[in-house]
Amino acid sequence: MSAPTSQDLVERVLAGEMRAGARLMRMVDDRTPGVTEHLKALHPHTGNASILGITGNPGSGKSTLTDQLIHHYRAQKLRVGVVAVDPSSPFSGGAILGDRIRMMDHATDSGVFIRSVATRGTLGGLSRSTHDIVHILDAMGYDVILVETVGVGQDEIDVMKLAHTSMVVLVPGLGDDIQAIKAGILEIADIFVINKADHPMVDRSIADLRHLQSLMSSHPDWIPPITTTIALRGEGIDTLTAEVARHRAYLEESDLLTTRQQDRERHILEMLVRGRLQEHVQQLLDNQSGDIQARLKDTDLNPYTLAESLLEKLDLPQSTRQPSAETPED
């Protein structure tokens, strides 16, 4: 049997064929040459899905909450795509697949597509492939796409640049008020979810969050609501999804939905350009590796001068050829 053509694969993805979607996602994750042409062809067919981001500290119950959200939206006959960003295996570099194991109840449901991807060392809480996989799921016709990050931290706020609605999951009694300040989650949360709400300190956590919100320098039209869930028992999910729907209505009424879509496209553009430049620079360094080692042994040559020499090979503007570790003065 002959291999399917590029157009065949695109048409099968647009028809919602799961095997075709999985194959294209694998090509994206492996950076297969020519995969960008497939993504270009799919782009006009995107923009219809509701993208929900789920982030929070490790152990906050993000995966259990995601599982319950799948049940909720499937009960409404909606098709659900899930992108679970897992830590990378230290041996293979691939995803450890912990999230997919937790969601095995949906393995035989044709209305659910779950894809685990590895961070592969990227900051921001999302894999470089995450945006493209969401793009594919959108083109495949999934109504709701859930993006679960690997865990929140100071640099892990990329989910807000991808999702229409970002949920930050917290747990009572673990110092989440301090974590909120450190991670800047007051800025990335559209909805706060205090999970494991049967904990005796849940009221304290709600009060702490409300206090932090009152200290914000600006007061936007949308104040992130604070919801409580016990995801393990499926409690609070209806209230949470009602807030998700209310936030979606707010975005549509204020025209912020269009703005977020434009910001998302800009973010993807920046990622693509940075990624291509990074690959080009890495290739240059790899090709010059032997020469670099030899030249660095020259006591009269320093890394700054050598960096300028290498950057000249990229034909960059003069202003970008001045590598410096100094911080500009005020």
Tens digit of each residue's pLDDT (9 = 90 or more) over 134-153? 999 999 999 999 999 876 55
Reported as a single tens digit per residue, the pLDDT across 165-223 is 999 999 997 655 555 555 566 778 899 999 999 999 999 989 988 888 887 766 678 99
Given 226, 254, 282, the domain boundary residue is: 254
How many domains are there within the chain? 3
Same-domain check for residues 40 and 73: no
Q: What is the pLDDT of residues 182-198, one digit of tens each?
A: 556 677 889 999 999 99
Which pLDDT score, from 0 to 100, does residue 89 have?
A: 38
Helices 35-42, 18-29: crossing angle, 10 deg rounding: 130
Confidence of residue 87 (pLDDT cuts 50, 70, 90): low
Q: Predicted confidence band at 123 (pLDDT cuts at 50, 70, 90)? A: very low
Domain extent, residue 38, equals 1-45
Look at residue 156 in the predicted model and tell me its pLDDT. Answer: 54
Within-domain flag for 330: no
- Token readout for 40 is 């270009």
Same domain, 40 and 54: no
* Stretch 53-59: mean pLDDT: 86
* Co-location of 288 and 171 in the same domain: no
Task: Please indicate, yes or no, whether residues 112 and 153 belong to a single structural domain of this protein.
Answer: yes
Q: pTM higher than 0.95 for the full model?
A: no
According to the model, what pLDDT value does residue 163 have?
Answer: 92
CA atoms of 50 and 137, how far apart (whole Å)? 11
Q: Does residue 321 sit within a domain?
A: no
Task: Give the confidence band of 90 by pLDDT, cuts at 50, 70, 90.
Answer: very low
235 within domain boundaries = yes
The predicted pLDDT at position 201 comes to 92
For residues 10 and 127, state if they share a domain.
no
In a domain, 108, yes or no: yes
Q: What CATH code is carried by the domain that includes residue 96? A: 3.40.50.300
The predicted pLDDT at position 240 comes to: 98
Asked if 66 contacts 99 with a C-beta cutoff of 8 angstroms, the reply is: yes
pLDDT, residue 307, reads 83
Question: Is 326 contained in some domain?
Answer: no
Residues 191 and 293 in one domain: no
pLDDT per position as a tens digit, 223-242 = 999 999 999 999 999 999 99
- 305 in a domain, yes or no? yes
Same domain, 52 and 181: yes
Domain termination residue (choose one: 254, 276, 299): 254
Give a yes or no: residue 5 inside a domain: yes
Residues 57 and 138 in one domain: yes
pLDDT at 183: 53
Q: How many CA atoms lie within 13 A of 22 on its CB side?
A: 8
Dihedral pair phi/psi, residue 144, rounded to 5°: -125, 130
Cα–Cα distances (Å) from 208 to 73, 211, 213, in that order, read 31, 5, 9
pLDDT in tens, 300-324: 778 888 888 888 877 766 555 555 5
Share of the chain above pLDDT 90, in %: 43
Q: Is residue 324 part of a domain?
A: no
pLDDT at 273: 85
Residues 33 and 76 in one domain: no
- Mapped to the 3 state alphabet, what secondary structure does the chain carry? CCCCCHHHHHHHHHCCCHHHHHHHHHHHHCCCCCHHHHHHHHHHHCCCCEEEEEEECCCCCHHHHHHHHHHHHHHCCCCEEEEEEECECCCCCCECCHHHHHCHHHCCCCCEEEEEEECCCCCCCCCCCHHHHHHHHHHCCCCEEEEECCCCCCCCCCHHHHCCEEEEEECCCCCHHHHHHHHCHHHHCCEEEECCCCCCCHHHHHHHHHHHHHCCCCCCCCCCCEEECEHHHCECHHHHHHHHHHHHHHHHHHCHHHHHHHHHHHHHHHHHHHHHHHHHHHHHHHHCHHHHHHHHCCCCCCHHHHHHHHHHCCCCCHHHCCCCCCCCCC
pLDDT tens across 238-270, in order?
A: 999 999 999 999 999 998 999 988 988 998 888
- Same domain for 187 and 56: yes
One domain, residues 249 and 287: no
89 and 224 co-located in one domain:
yes
Residue 155: predicted pLDDT: 40
Per-chain mean pLDDT for the chain: 82
